[in-house]
Amino acid sequence: MVRKIDKSKADAYFREKNTYMIIYFIIWALVSYGVVLIAEPLSDVYFNGFPFHYYMGAQGALAVFIILLFVNAIVGDKIDKKYGIDEKRNEEIGKTSVSEH
Amino acid sequence: MDSQFIVSLAIILATFALYIFIAVYNKAKETSDFYVAGRGVPPIWNGMAIGADWMSAASFIGMAGTIMMLGYDGLAYIMGWTGGYLLLTFLLAPQLRKSGCYTVPEFIGDRFKSNTALIIAAICTMIISFTYSIGQLSGSGVVIGRLFEIDAKLGTMIGVVLIAIYAAFGGMKGITWTQVAQYLVLIIAYLVPVIFMSLQITGNPLPWLTYGNIVSELGELDKQLGLSEYFAPFEKGTKWQFLALMFTLMAGTAGLPHVIARFYTVSTMKAARWSGAWALLFIGLLYFSAPAYAAFSRFILMTQVAGSKIAELPAWTKTWVDTGLLQVADTSGDGILQWNELIIANDIVVMATPEIANLGIFVIGLVAAGAMAAALSTAGGLLIAISSAFAHDIYYRILKPTATDKQRLTVGRITIVVATLLAGIVALNPPGAITQIVAWAFALATGTFFPALVLGVWWKRSNSKGLIAGLLVGLAVTLAYIFAAKYGGFTILGIIDTGAGVFGAAAAFAANIIVSLATKPPSQEIQDAVINLRYPEQMTYKNGEVFMED
pLDDT at residue B538, rounded to an integer: 87
Q: Write out the H or E segment, with its range, that includes residue B545.
A: strand B545-549
Q: Of the given ranges (B23-32, B350-359, B376-385, B413-422), which has the lowest mean pLDDT?
A: B23-32
Q: Give the residue from B537, B547, B549 with the most A CB atoms within 10 Å of its CB, the best one to mutate.
A: B537
* Residue A51 pLDDT exceeds 70: yes
Could you give the number of structural domains in chain B? 1
Compute how many other C-beta atoms are within 10 angstroms of the C-beta atom of residue A71.
15
Span B333-348, pLDDT tens digits = 788 888 888 888 777 7
Q: What's the gap in Å between the CA of A50 and the closest CA on chain B?
A: 4
- Is-contact B239 B353, C-beta < 8 A? no
**Among B363, B373, B5, residue whose Cα is nearest residue B159:** B373
Q: Decide if B67 is inside a domain.
A: yes
Give CA–CA dist B140/B152, Å, rounded.
9
Please judge whether A94 and B277 are an interchain contact, meaning their C-beta atoms are less than 8 angstroms apart.
Answer: no
C-alpha distances in Å from residue A5, one per residue of A84, B99, B539, B542: 12, 21, 9, 12
For chain B, percent of residues with pLDDT exceeding 70: 94
Encode B252-264: b = buried (16+ Cβ within 10 Å), e = exposed: bbbbbbbbbbbbb
Does A100 lie at the interface with B, CB-CB under 8 angstroms? no
pLDDT digits (tens, 9 = 90+) for A70-83: 999 999 999 999 99
Domain carrying residue B196: 3-205+249-433
| Closest to B444 (Cα-Cα) out of B503, B377, B392 | B503
pLDDT in tens, B490-547: 989 989 888 999 999 999 999 999 999 999 999 999 999 999 999 988 888 888 888 8
Give contacts of B246 with chain A, Cβ < 8 Å: 32-33, 36
By the 8 A CB rule, do B332 and B47 touch?
Answer: no
3-state secondary structure labels for all residues of B228-290: CCCCCCCCCCCHHHHHHHHHHHHHHHHHCHHHHHHHHHCCCHHHHHHHHHHHHHHHHHHHHHH
Provide the residue type at B64 as one letter.
A
B390 domain residue, yes or no: yes
Say what the pLDDT of residue B498 is.
87
Radius of gyration of chain A (CA): 20
pTM of the model: 0.91
pLDDT of residue B175: 65
Band of pLDDT at residue A101, cut at 50, 70 and 90: very low
Radius of gyration of chain B (CA): 24
DSSP string, B276-338: HHHHHHHHHHHHHHHHHHHHHHHHHIIIIITTSBGGG--HHHHHHHHTTSEEE--TT-SSB--
Three-class DSSP labels, B92-129: HHHHHHHHCCCCHHHHHHHHHCCHHHHHHHHHHHHHHH
Within 8 A of A97 by CB-CB distance, chain B residues are 98, 100, 537
CB-based contact (8 Å) between A98 and chain B?
A: yes
Asked if A2 reaches chain B (Cβ–Cβ under 8 Å), the answer is: yes
A-chain CB neighbours of B264 within 8 Å are none
pLDDT for B13-31, tens place per residue? 899 888 878 877 776 545 5
- Cβ of A60 under 8 Å from any chain B Cβ? no
B537 secondary structure, DSSP code: T
Cβ neighbour number for residue B484 with a 10 Å cutoff: 15
Please indicate whether, in this complex, the C-beta atoms of A46 and B550 are within 8 angstroms of each other: no
Q: In angstroms, what separates the C-alpha of B380 from chain A's closest C-alpha? A: 24
| Residues in contact with B217: Cβ distance below 8 Å, sequence separation at least 6, in sequence order | B299
Q: Which helix (H) or strand (E) holds B179?
A: helix B152-202
Closest CA in chain B for residue A71: B277
Residues of A whose CB is below 8 A from B291: 57-59
Give the ipTM. Answer: 0.93
CB B467 within 8 A of CB B112: yes
Instruction: Confirm or reject contact between A36 and chain B (CB < 8 A).
Output: yes
Question: Touching check for A21 and chain B: CB below 8 Å?
Answer: yes
Contacts B458 to A, Cβ<8 Å? none
Evaluate whether residue B484 is within a structural domain. Answer: no
pLDDT value of position B268: 87
pLDDT band per the 50, 70, 90 thresholds, residue A100: very low
Compare B402 and A94 and report the one with higher pLDDT: B402
Residue B331 sits at φ, ψ, to 5 deg, of -65, -30
For residue B122, the model assigns a pLDDT of 94
Q: Judge whether B108 and B455 are in contact, CB under 8 Å.
A: no
A39 in contact with B at a CB cutoff of 8 Å? yes
Chain A: nearest CA to B428, how far in angstroms? 34
**Calpha distance B128→B168 (Å, rounded):** 20
Q: Compute the distance between CA of residue B287 and CA of residue B242 in angstroms, rounded to an integer.
A: 18
Residue of A nearest to B100 (CA): A98
Query: For A77-100, what is the mean pLDDT?
Result: 77
Element (H or E) spanning B549, and its range? strand B545-549
pLDDT at B31: 52
Nearest CA to B81 out of B294, B248, B233, B292 is that of B248
Q: What are phi and psi of A2, to 5 degrees?
A: -105, 130
Q: Where residue A99 falls among pLDDT bands split at 50, 70, 90?
A: very low
Tell if the CB–CB gap between B79 and A32 is shorter than 8 Å.
yes
In a domain, B485, yes or no: no
A67 inside 8 A of chain B by CB? no
Nearest to B383 by CA among B180, B129, B36: B129
Residues on chain A touching B550 (C-beta within 8 angstroms): 1-3, 86, 89
Strands A50-51 and A46-47: antiparallel
Strands (DSSP E) contained in chain A are 2-5, 46-47, 50-51
- Tens of pLDDT along B209-236? 989 889 998 998 888 888 888 898 898 8
Positive or negative: CA dihedral A73, A74, A78, A79? negative
B265-293 per-position pLDDT tens digit: 788 899 999 999 999 999 999 999 999 99
* pLDDT higher than threshold 70 for residue B248: yes
* pLDDT score of B477 more than 90: yes
Q: How confident is the model at residue A23 (pLDDT cuts 50, 70, 90)?
A: very high
Inter-chain residue contact A33 with B100, CB threshold 8 Å? no
B190, B521, B542 from B420: Cα distances, Å = 27, 41, 44
In a domain, B450, yes or no: no
Residues of B in contact with A50 (CB under 8 A): 212, 215-216, 231
Identify the residue with better confidence: B448 or B59.
B448
Whether pLDDT at A17 is above 60: yes
Q: Is A28 on the interface with B (CB under 8 A)?
A: yes
Q: At B341, which CATH number? A: 1.20.1730.10
pLDDT in tens, B165-184: 767 665 555 567 888 898 99
Which of A8, A47, A101 to probe by mutation at the B interface, max B CB count within 10 Å? A101
Domain boundary assignment for chain A: 7-88
- B545-549 and B539-542: which strand pairing? antiparallel
Amino acid at B27: K
Query: pLDDT value at position B28?
Result: 53
**Domain assignment present for B369:** yes
Determine contact: A76 vs chain B, CB below 8 A: yes
